[in-house]
């Protein structure tokens, strides 16, 4: 694309080293190497001299005045007519004006450094937009360079080509010696492209110094063209022979001459309306879309001023004024030429001779010089611009090793590898053979780039970032929308297939950069947009409108040390069902006695852990004087609005020694249910995790996945459970997940008894209350809901739910089973019901009740109160706490609990992957907390991965 060229022109003309074109990441130091500080100091001392005219207006005009100005004005009016021709320019300039407003807005939103449009967009919007737009800029420049080379070949063949098969010769002169044809034209184009390559590799500075001279030549030739319309007398012009022998279908006779009539009303009337016919250079039938595609290439230089950002005295001032001035000037020139051509030239002349401006000029060589200089300048500028864009992309490492060869430079800093790659791609495009053939492709690329710029600016505007406050005030969100709609409509009108393929390619680039590129410090517009939308939808998430049928678990998992909690973290990720998942951690301390918050330095390790385990979770850390108070903090403050944890998950309080799972490579690869792609092997990288070692805890009591052996006792642990239930939070206690390996369990289903199907066992009855076996209370239904959610996860769908129905002799077994089966049917839960007789266990329970009735049990260390007084207290609390069992904490014997534990172990084989058990409420009397925890430990002894669950809110319904 022409607009990037002047940046290099003036940079080279002021002898700036190529290292100045390097685009340092914001907030990062440049690469340290010998001489870098001296180069930076020299760059800072160099005055930036370019004004609005020399820095913005001239580059933009040179980029926009080229092939269309000299070779395709007649083509536009001849096929589309004056009315549609002017309409085309209005549409094209409407589109580019909307994009100009976006460019001006970005360019006035803070200080600009060297790097042009790519630097500006990538640093303003992040690597996703910057990289994808950068690649599209690169491809647009490559195709535009090839287009201008082909335009120059067309002009050369028209002047020096032999009459046999020539493209645009007017009269046969002695200097018409060059053979014509596809392969000859390809040879000429290759030679010109090779010349551009040599200049870019060796003598680019010579061309840079001639930029202003080329501008003067183009303006002089343009002046002679305007004068010629008034000074040249009417004449008959010999038309070139068509390059293709096929008939165009409009008549058997192909005219050989046409007239330049001068200003005549009859000529104007004959050129007002459209008259599309076949293109004499390609034989293709022209339409509004194909003519527009060719014409639009004269409007694709609007970002040249932005590319001069590093050389301007005041970029924020110069870019908007210079760009808008150039756009207005070119719009006036193009429309004046259309009117003059329509008033003075026969339609046949306009349709059959694209180089007619030479023959009506006061001296035909003026136009030839203008065509040669402008097209060669544009071709070189696009080749140089493409190479610099590729070099910048390679330096930024957005595509990793794919672009690493493009980083190579010469000792003078010239990116010769990028130049060679760009030249090679230009050479490939040259095989298309005709200017009009690739015009639509180039136009679609530029339209896509402009649409992307508008989308990016629209994203900045909608993100409402406080730091996006451009001083250019003529930019609003609807100008971006108009630009996007205009670009999209014209892209699909020109060629729907090319447009769709280009959009898909750009989206693919954006996704690749988003997921594969290293993290940059430029800032991500996607994060700003996500924040804006999430805030809006959180405000709309009204807890007053919650309904039980849309309930989902929102989990706060307390983790003491992630090194021993990998299995539990990954398993809980499976039962969150797209709900909120928070990893909580409490660090003991007092901020008053500390120099700074010690938690801030730990977040990186926790977030790295989340990435490493490939789970979708948030991290919430807190500082407190006790673990209990810390968990209270997290339950109070975690989440926002309607997204707050409703379920607290704790590791079980026992004496199991923790195992470090972050140093075992075989256990460091986790594929979670949320992963939509194939399993990926995550390499262990210990430096990412700065968690405390577990060695010290092996010499003292440690409490599984939760707690710290030094500070958390059984009394406080049970108090945490009671606190959560008081706060109307569901509670889950997880035992034996220290060695749980999700990948192993799911990839090769097995149990401790041997290989077999994958099972999940559910015991939805309060095993500590055998006198009140209820399967339909709130807690039991919550148990069923979580088991069903686990079974709905893709990786766990092959698991079979086994639901155990505990019954006693004398009760209707068939009736209970049918009733439970009907309930499961209504709840849409697929599970196999297994009746279990537990008369022997219940007998042990009632035997203990008889003993307790005779005397106060001496087996309980907490039973220090008089029996009558204790009984009265328990009876009072029984009415206050649903599902509480204060009396049972003293009446349950260890024999009964061991018997129930053995019943669970021996009921059915093979053993399940995980068990779901009913968690009763803690006793009302805090003195019995230790006994309560002891009973839970006996109940779950050696059961393998087990969840003790207590639900406090309705979570399931049979209604539609």
Encode pLDDT of 45-57 as tens digits. Answer: 444 457 788 878 8
Task: Give the C-alpha separation, 412 to 393, whole Å.
Answer: 20
CA 764, 795, 759: angle at the middle one, nearest 5?
40
Cα–Cα distances in angstroms (integers) from residue 727 to residues 584, 652, 782, 819, 953, in the given order: 17, 20, 17, 33, 11
Task: Give the C-alpha separation, 602 to 921, whole Å.
Answer: 35
Task: Give the C-alpha separation, 889 to 930, whole Å.
Answer: 10
Q: Is there a domain that residue 673 lies in?
A: no
Beta strands 914-918 and 946-950 are: parallel
Q: What is the dihedral of CA 719, 551, 612, 522, to 10 degrees?
A: -110
Largest CA distance in the chain: 133
The more confident residue out of 798 and 523 is 798
Q: Is there a domain that residue 531 lies in?
A: no
Q: What percent of the chain has pLDDT over 90?
A: 22
DSSP 8-state class, residue 263: S
Q: What is the mean pLDDT of the chain?
A: 77
Pair (402, 309) in one structural domain: yes
pLDDT at 618 over 80: yes
pLDDT given at position 174: 53
Give residue-wise pLDDT tens across range 421-474: 999 999 998 887 777 778 788 888 888 888 888 887 888 888 777 778 888 878
Phi-psi region at 232: left, alpha or beta (left = phi > 0; alpha = psi -120 to 50)? beta
Identify the band that residue 889 occupies on the pLDDT scale cut at 50, 70 and 90: low
CATH number of residue 443's parent domain: 1.20.1740.10
pLDDT given at position 908: 77
pLDDT given at position 310: 58
97's tokens: 């004006």
pLDDT at 21 over 50: no
pLDDT given at position 342: 94
Burial of 861 per CB tally in 10 Å (0-12, 13-18, 19+): exposed
CATH number of residue 824's parent domain: 3.40.50.620
What's the rounded mean pLDDT across residues 322-327?
A: 92
Pair (108, 57) in one structural domain: yes
Give residue-wise pLDDT tens across range 895-953: 888 888 888 888 877 889 999 999 999 999 989 999 999 999 999 998 999 999 999 98
pLDDT given at position 464: 76
Q: Which of 258, 253, 281 is nearest to 180 (CA)?
A: 281
The torsion angles phi and psi of 723, rounded to 5 degrees, stand at: -60, -45
What's the rounded mean pLDDT across residues 102-108?
A: 85
Quick check: 145 and 545 in contact, CB under 8 A? no
Identify the band that residue 311 occupies on the pLDDT scale cut at 50, 70 and 90: low
Pair (464, 578) in one structural domain: no
Quick check: 877 and 925 in contact, CB under 8 A? yes
Pair (487, 632) in one structural domain: no
The torsion angles phi and psi of 698, rounded to 5 degrees, stand at: -75, -20
pLDDT at 163 over 70: no
Q: Is there a domain that residue 136 lies in?
A: yes
Task: Give the C-alpha separation, 509 to 437, whole Å.
Answer: 26
Pair (475, 584) in one structural domain: no
Q: Determine the structural domain holding residue 893 and report its residue range.
A: 755-849+889-959
Q: Which of 704, 749, 757, 761 is nearest to 947 (CA)?
A: 761
Task: Give the C-alpha separation, 792 to 116, whole Å.
Answer: 51
Q: Tell me what percent of the chain is helix, strand and coil, each rounded to the nearest 5.
A: 55, 10, 35
CB atoms within 10 A of CB 186: 17
Identify the band that residue 224 occupies on the pLDDT scale cut at 50, 70 and 90: very high
pLDDT given at position 572: 93
User: What's the pTM value of the predicted model, to 2 decimals?
Assistant: 0.64
Task: Give the C-alpha separation, 632 to 58, whole Å.
Answer: 67
Pair (293, 432) in one structural domain: yes
Q: What percent of the chain has pLDDT over 70?
A: 77
738's tokens: 């220290």
787's tokens: 């088991």
Quick check: 212 and 58 in contact, CB under 8 A? yes
Q: Is there a domain that residue 526 lies in?
A: no
Pair (730, 764) in one structural domain: no
Pair (380, 410) in one structural domain: yes
Residues 6+ apart with CB under 8 A from 604: none
pLDDT given at position 389: 81
Task: Give the C-alpha separation, 205 to 183, whole Å.
Answer: 32
Quick check: 758 and 914 in contact, CB under 8 A? no
Q: How many domains does the chain have?
A: 3
Give residue-wise pLDDT tens across range 534-546: 888 888 887 877 7
């Amino acid at each position: 694309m022409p607009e990037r060229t002047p940046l290099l022109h003036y940079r080279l003309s002021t002898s700036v080293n190529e290292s100045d074109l390097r685009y340092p990441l914001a907030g990062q130091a440049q690469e340290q190497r010998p001489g870098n500080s001296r180069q930076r100091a020299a760059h800072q001392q160099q005055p930036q001299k370019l004004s609005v005219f020399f820095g913005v207006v001239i580059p933009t005009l040179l980029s926009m005045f080229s092939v269309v100005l000299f070779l395709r004005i007649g083509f536009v009016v001849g096929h589309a007519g004056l009315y549609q021709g002017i309409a085309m320019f209005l549409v094209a300039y409407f589109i580019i004006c909307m994009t100009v407003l976006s460019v001006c807005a970005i360019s006035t939103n803070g200080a600009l450094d060297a790097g042009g449009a790519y630097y500006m967009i990538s640093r303003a919007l992040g690597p996703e937009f910057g990289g994808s737009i950068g690649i599209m800029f690169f491809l647009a420049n490559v195709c535009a360079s090839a287009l201008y080379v082909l335009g120059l070949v067309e002009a050369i063949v028209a002047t020096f080509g032999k009459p046999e098969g020539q493209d645009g010769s007017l009269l046969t002169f002695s200097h018409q010696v060059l053979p014509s044809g596809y392969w000859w034209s390809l040879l000429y184009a290759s030679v010109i492209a090779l010349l551009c390559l040599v200049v870019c590799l060796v003598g680019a500075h010579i061309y840079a110094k001639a930029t202003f001279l080329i501008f003067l030549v183009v303006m002089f030739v343009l002046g002679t063209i305007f004068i010629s319309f008034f000074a040249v007398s009417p004449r008959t012009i010999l038309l070139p022979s068509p390059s293709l022998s096929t008939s165009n279908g409009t008549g058997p006779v192909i005219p050989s001459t046409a007239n330049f009539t001068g200003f005549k009303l009859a000529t104007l009337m004959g050129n007002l309306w459209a008259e599309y016919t076949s293109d004499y250079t390609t034989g293709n039938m022209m339409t509004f879309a194909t003519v527009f595609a060719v014409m639009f290439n004269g409007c694709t230089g609007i970002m040249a001023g932005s590319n001069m950002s590093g050389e301007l005295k005041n970029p924020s001032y110069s870019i908007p004024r210079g760009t808008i001035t150039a756009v207005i000037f070119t719009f006036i020139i193009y429309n004046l030429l259309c009117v003059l051509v329509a008033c003075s030239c026969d339609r046949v002349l306009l349709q059959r001779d694209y180089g007619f401006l030479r023959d009506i000029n006061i001296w035909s060589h003026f136009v030839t010089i203008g065509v040669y200089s402008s097209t060669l300048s544009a071709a070189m500028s696009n080749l140089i611009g493409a190479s610099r864009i590729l070099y910048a992309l390679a330096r930024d490492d957005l595509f990793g090793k794919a672009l690493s060869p493009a980083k190579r430079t010469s000792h003078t800093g010239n990116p010769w590898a990028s130049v060679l790659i760009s030249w090679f791609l230009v050479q490939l495009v040259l095989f298309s053979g005709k200017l009009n053939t690739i015009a639509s492709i180039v136009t679609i690329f530029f339209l896509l780039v402009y649409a992307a710029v508008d989308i990016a600016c629209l994203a900045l505007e909608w993100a409402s970032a406080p730091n996006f406050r451009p001083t250019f005030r003529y930019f609003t969100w609807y100008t971006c929308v108009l630009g996007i709609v205009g670009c999209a409509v014209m892209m699909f009108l020109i060629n729907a297939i090319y447009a769709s393929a280009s959009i898909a390619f750009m989206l693919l680039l954006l996704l690749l950069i988003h997921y594969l590129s290293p993290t940059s410090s430029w800032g991500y517009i996607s994060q700003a947009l996500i924040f804006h939308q999430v805030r809006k939808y959180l405000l709309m998430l009204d807890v007053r409108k919650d309904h039980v049928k849309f309930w989902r678990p929102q989990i706060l998992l307390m983790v003491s040390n992630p090194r021993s909690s990998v299995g539990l973290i990954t398993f809980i990720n499976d039962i969150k069902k797209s709900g909120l998942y928070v990893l909580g951690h409490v660090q003991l301390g007092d901020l008053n006695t500390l120099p700074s918050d010690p938690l801030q330095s730990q977040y990186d390790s926790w977030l790295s852990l989340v990435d490493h385990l490939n789970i979708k979770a948030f991290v919430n850390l807190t500082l407190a004087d006790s673990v209990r108070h810390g968990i209270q903090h997290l339950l109070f403050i975690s989440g926002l609005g309607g997204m707050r944890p409703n379920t607290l998950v704790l590791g079980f309080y026992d004496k199991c020694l923790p195992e470090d799972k972050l140093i075992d490579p075989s256990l460091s690869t986790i594929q979670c249910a949320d992963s939509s792609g194939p399993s990926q092997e995550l390499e262990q990288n210990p430096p990412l995790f700065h968690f405390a070692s577990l060695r010290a805890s092996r010499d003292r009591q440690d409490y599984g996945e939760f707690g710290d052996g030094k500070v958390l006792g059984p009394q406080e642990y049970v108090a945490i459970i009671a606190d959560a239930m008081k706060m109307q939070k569901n509670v889950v206690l997880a035992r034996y997940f220290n060695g749980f390996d999700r990948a192993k369990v799911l990839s090769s289903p097995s149990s401790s008894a041997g290989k077999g199907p994958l099972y999940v066992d559910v015991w939805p009855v309060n095993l500590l209350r055998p006198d009140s076996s209820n399967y339909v209370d709130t807690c039991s239904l919550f148990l069923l809901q979580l088991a069903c959610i686990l079974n709905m996860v893709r990786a766990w769908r092959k698991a079979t739910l086994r639901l155990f129905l505990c019954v006693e002799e004398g009760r209707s077994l068939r009736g209970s089973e049918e009733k439970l089966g009907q309930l499961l049917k209504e709840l849409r839960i697929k599970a196999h019901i297994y009746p279990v007789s537990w008369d022997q266990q219940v007998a042990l329970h009632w035997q203990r009740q008889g003993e307790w009735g005779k005397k106060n049990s001496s087996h309980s260390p907490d039973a220090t109160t008089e029996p009558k007084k204790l009984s009265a207290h328990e009876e009072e609390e029984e009415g206050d706490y649903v599902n509480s069992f204060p009396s049972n904490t003293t009446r349950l014997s260890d024999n009964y609990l061991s018997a129930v534990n053995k019943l669970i172990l021996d009921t059915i084989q093979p053993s399940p992957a995980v068990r779901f058990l009913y968690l009763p409420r803690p006793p009302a009397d805090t003195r019995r907390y230790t006994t309560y925890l002891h009973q839970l430990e006996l109940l779950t002894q050696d059961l393998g991965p087990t969840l003790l669950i207590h639900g406090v809110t309705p979570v399931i319904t049979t209604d539609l």
